[in-house]
Amino acid sequence: MEYFNQDYQKGKLIFAGNSEKLGTKGGFNQLKARLWAKNWVVNIADPIDRPENVLEYVGRYTHRVAISNDRLNSLKDGKVTFAYKNRETKKIQTTTVEAVEFIRRFILHVLPKGFMRIRHYGFLANRCKRDNLLKCRQFLDVSLELEQAAEKSIQQLMLDLTGVDITRCPKYKKGIMKKFADLPQRFGQNPFYLIHPDEFKDTG
């Protein structure tokens, strides 16, 4: 609490969105009073029973964005409506916030430059991983030659990870999307993708 108060005095704390009123002197004093009155305890919970559950829990933070597209309901009049799960009722609800506030919340999940989302340690630490893996393979009496991971295209990686073939026409699910030509410079320099006529003729 002392460090918290010091940072406030130095102007290091940012109160934005719904917490903006807490940035005033009166609001901050009320916030400190609420925090001092709270009985802080360490929450000791039972360990997660299965490793699959651990991976599922951690995976939500390491391999997903802050919010998935299917939770976004609408963008209208400068406001974003999205779905969330109420932790108390265990039910899915919706809320609407200003677009700027939505972007602020989203950016809170973006790691600062230099930070890593996943940091390995032990024998997988980057600094000594190669030597340690060779020792592990030696102790396990397996070949010291490390298998080279096969290089895959972006299309194949997306298919393996999501089951979605990004080369397929998203509307008719038939035909192969191929780079056909580059648009003239006056229209921009982004590649122009068309469905090859020979592969699309059966869809009408």
d(CA 162, CA 167): 13
| Predicted confidence (pLDDT) per residue in 50-92, tens digit | 888 888 878 777 777 788 888 999 999 999 999 999 988 989 9
Nearest one of 171, 165, 166, 181 to 204, comparing CA atoms? 171
Check residues 196 and 61 and name the one with the higher pLDDT.
Answer: 61
Sequence-separated (6 or more) residues with CB below 8 Å from residue 114: none
Q: What residue type is 136 in one-letter code?
A: C
Q: Which residue has the tokens 């997306």?
A: 158
Q: What is the pTM of this model?
A: 0.43
Neighbouring C-beta atoms of residue 47, cutoff 10 Å:
5
**pLDDT at residue number 57:** 79
DSSP string covering 14-46? ---GGGGGGGSHHHHHHHHHHHHHS-------P
d(CA 64, CA 66): 7
Distance of CA 45 to the CA centre of its chain: 26
Stated as kind and residue range, the H or E segment containing 160 is helix 154-162
Least confident span in 76-80, 164-168, 200-204: 200-204
**pLDDT at residue number 185:** 59
| Predicted confidence (pLDDT) per residue in 115-160, tens digit | 887 888 888 888 888 889 889 988 998 887 766 667 888 888 888 8
**pLDDT at residue number 201:** 46
**pLDDT at residue number 174:** 76
**pLDDT at residue number 167:** 84
| Predicted confidence (pLDDT) per residue in 172-183, tens digit | 777 777 777 766
**Is 195's pLDDT higher than 70?**
no
What are the E-state strand segments in 10-136?
72-76, 79-85, 92-98
**pLDDT at residue number 81:** 96
**pLDDT at residue number 115:** 83
Domain ranges of the chain: 2-37, 51-107, 154-203
**pLDDT at residue number 4:** 92
| Predicted confidence (pLDDT) per residue in 10-54, tens digit | 999 989 888 899 999 999 999 999 999 988 887 777 887 888 888
